[in-house]
Structure 1
Amino acid sequence: MWIKPKKIEPPIFSFWDDLETSLYFMLQKRKGHGEAITLQSKVIGTLDTLWNTKPPPFRILLHSPKHEDYYYTIAVATRKEDILKDWQWLQTNINIDLKAEEVDKLDFIISKVSSLAIDSNVFVVDSSDDERKQFQVTCSKFIELFDLHPEEKLINYYLCSYQPKGYRLPRPGYLYLSVNFLCFYSYVLGSEIKLVERWTNVIDLDYTRTSISVISKSNQLLYFNSFLDASKPHTLMKQLSDIKIKELISENYAFEEDKELSRKKSKKPILPLTRDLNARAESEACRILFRLPATEKLDGSISAQLYTPYNRSQVSGRMFISQNYVCFDSKSPST
């Protein structure tokens, strides 16, 4: 697919194999994609997985024969047949005036490819783009990697290790947590591990400071370790598991993203569905604390002081505001 031309540093060609070359274009394939035949390709595939870079395996570069440091990525693809279509289009439709200045030739190609990218509404995430755009790229890779439904929503992912049965050493990789699945992927020196488990099959979760244990319905133990802080992924896993249990118990309960919440601005850079789940947890805690109806949603809370007329004093605490209620809670002994 065509992308908005992105300038790159002179590439490390040991990471890529040239499939086709011409005066201004290079068609390349990433080493480590498909069958890992050589040790070098296995190492590259392992590094891509651990660094969570894993770029599309095929790409087309625009380069200048007169400028060694001039390289632009203009097309990428996950399938060879798709990138070959773009390559053939370039060979057929890009007619360069050989008498023109070098800069004019390159500008012509970039403007042509940019218009193609705009027509297809496809853009590449720059390093200067925010975390949310980068996460969208990871979501697309997640769907493709585990062959899930395109509507499956990734919540977050974490670098960790997994101890599979029959392996002496833990396997480094990424733990992916989506609305319906717990997934893990590891690629080390040509050996690939994929794990997909539905939340409805999870019956117990436990954790320590750096590890998480998951027990499934089949009494299978899934042990993940090497977390920097296991409490955060464990809390998220507990939330997602509880949501699926509620869906099984009640036919009227179903997880849907809060569209109203997504329209509100947040001071902190946080992923949309993570923000949604945090808001659900806070609303549930508020409903339990004040015994509010199950449909009540918390709009926010703030530190406040309540004036108590009976002793003419100020009591410090926290005020909670929901759709239909204003509540106050204080840990002060006087209340």
Structure 2
Amino acid sequence: MPFWGIEQQNQYFTLQKSQEPGNIIFKNVFSTIKNLLDAKQPPYRILFHKDLESVCLQIAISESREAIESAWDWIKINMLPELENISSSFAKEEYVVKKVNAIVSETATNSDADELIQDNNIRNASRTFKKTFDVPATERLVNYYSCSCNSRQGWMYISENFVGFYSYLLGFELKILIELKEVKDIIKEPIRKLFRHSLRIITKDSKEYLFTNMFKRDEVYDLLIQLASDSIQRLLKSTTSKALKDSTTNAINHSPISRESKPEDGDTLISPSSRTNNPLKTILQHRKQNERFRQLFRLPEEEQLIDSINVTYYFQSTTAKATVEKIKHLGILYLSQNFLCFGSSNDTAVLASDMDQSPCSVILPLYTITRLERINNDTYRSELILTIWHKMTHNFKVDIR
């Protein structure tokens, strides 16, 4: 953690500036520890203390002296007079906390997307990523991982459009930034004694980067593959949209439709409405689940998975001898906006000797369901009996044994 020196102080607030050791050796060691722990902090901060013996509350941080002094002046004008009229020290602290939270919420809603990230580690890593690399302020961090590159331990940062690596060890700095649309190949390297859990990234200009000591290599690989594909798709869509726009400029100019500036399809990774509610990593996982769901049942691209549950599917089949057999499959029941789908699980079916071994897939458009019954009994928590237009019944049982 940095050492702090006092710049300004009054009865309730203290403005401090971080100070690094003067000795060059201690300075390098100090910077190395901060990098390894990912504990970089802005050089300026303001603390609130309700009394001399209480723990201080950090209420403001800044990268520049001008910004922190502006906050200091605002505090003296808008908060100090109110604190003088409050007698209880606990009431003073409560007032400051509520005031600062209100300001942070309003500021975050209007400008800083990082403030809307609920995960403190991701939020701090996002600030470090933007401070370290020359990326747009709107770039959003997905996740970060500890790894090595060129035998130097550091941190890999993965955002919507970039993958970056930063290391600072004993005065030597290594900084790598790769744009995902320039990635040609991502390869899992074989496990070796010295380079375990390795991942190699090859760019279009034939540059290669080997990242080692990556304990979550499979997770990083899947994430990079997904983001690189998204980046290429956005590039192709934007290129196609621009070509179409250039070729139809005259028609658009004479069109009665309003020409207000709107984002092109695919320009953003997710819709703006979902940006402030869910972490980006969770949204990407949901997108991956939706893609697998649509591929499994060959559904339209607009279908989104709403929920799924493990069930046992029963249906009756008439054989050539006119006998009725009751066939059952263990699997998963999926629900989307317009479909109810079932897919059998072969791995689970093997465990039960009475389960039919052949795969089973059922796709029911919701509009074909004419009747729905729910039955509770002792063996199963619930049983759903669906009747469709063709008078065929489908039984789904949720087994809790």
Give the aligned partner of residue 279 of structure 1. Answer: 286
Q: 1:82 aligns with which of 52, 59, 67?
A: 67
Give the aligned partner of residue 140 of structure 1. Answer: 127
> For residues 117-173 of structure 1, what are the alpha-carbon distances to aligned partners after superposition, in whole Å with 9 as ceiling and x for unaligned?
6446469xxxxxx9525433433333233232222121111111122xxxxxx2222
Question: Higher relative CO (CA 8 A, sep ≥ 6), structure 1 or 2?
Answer: 1
Q: 1:257 aligns with which of 248, 256, 270?
A: 270
1:171 aligns with 2:195: no
1:307 aligns with 2:314: yes
> For residues 239-262 of structure 1, what are the alpha-carbon distances to aligned partners after superposition, in whole Å with 9 as ceiling and x for unaligned?
001112223344476143156777
> Once the 2 structures are TM-superposed, how far is the Cα of residue 236 of structure 1 from its aligned partner?
0.3
> Once the 2 structures are TM-superposed, how far is the Cα of residue 49 of structure 1 from its aligned partner?
1.9
> 1:31, 1:45 within 8 Å by CA — same for their partners in 2?
no
> 1:303, 1:319 within 8 Å by CA — same for their partners in 2?
yes
Distance 2:282 2:79 in 1: 46
> Once the 2 structures are TM-superposed, how far is the Cα of residue 277 of structure 1 from its aligned partner?
1.3
Number of equivalences: 299
Give the aligned partner of residue 229 of structure 2. Answer: 242
> For residues 20-76 of structure 1, what are the alpha-carbon distances to aligned partners after superposition, in whole Å with 9 as ceiling and x for unaligned?
56676544322459xx86222322222222212212211233458953x64333432
Q: Does 234-243 or 186-195 show the bigger shift? A: 186-195
> Once the 2 structures are TM-superposed, how far is the Cα of residue 286 of structure 1 from its aligned partner?
2.2
SS at match of 1:244: helix
CA pair 85-191 structure 1, distance change in 2 beyond 3 A: farther
Distance 2:142 2:181 in 1: 17
| Structure 1 residues not aligned, in runs of 5+ | 1-11, 124-129, 164-169, 265-270
Give the aligned partner of residue 334 of structure 1. Answer: 358
CA pair 73-334 structure 1, distance change in 2 beyond 3 A: closer
SS at match of 2:306: strand
> Once the 2 structures are TM-superposed, how far is the Cα of residue 196 of structure 1 from its aligned partner?
1.5
Give the aligned partner of residue 9 of structure 1. Answer: none
Q: CA RMSD in A?
A: 3.8
> Once the 2 structures are TM-superposed, how far is the Cα of residue 114 of structure 1 from its aligned partner?
6.0
SS at match of 1:275: helix
Q: Supply the AA of the counterpart residue of 1:292.
A: L
Distance 1:296 1:145 in 2: 39
| Structure 2 residues not aligned, in runs of 5+ | 109-116, 190-195, 242-264, 318-324, 347-355, 360-401
Give the aligned partner of residue 146 of structure 2. Answer: 159
Give the aligned partner of residue 18 of structure 2. Answer: 30
Q: 2:161 aligns with which of 176, 180, 192?
A: 180
Give the aligned partner of residue 267 of structure 1. Answer: none
SS at match of 1:309: strand
CA pair 231-95 structure 1, distance change in 2 beyond 3 A: closer
The TM-score with structure 1 as length reference comes to 0.73
> Once the 2 structures are TM-superposed, how far is the Cα of residue 116 of structure 1 from its aligned partner?
6.0
Distance 2:142 2:73 in 1: 39
**Identical columns (%):** 29
The TM-score with structure 2 as length reference comes to 0.62
Give the aligned partner of residue 197 of structure 2. Answer: 210
> For residues 256-291 of structure 1, what are the alpha-carbon distances to aligned partners after superposition, in whole Å with 9 as ceiling and x for unaligned?
315677799xxxxxx622122112222222222222
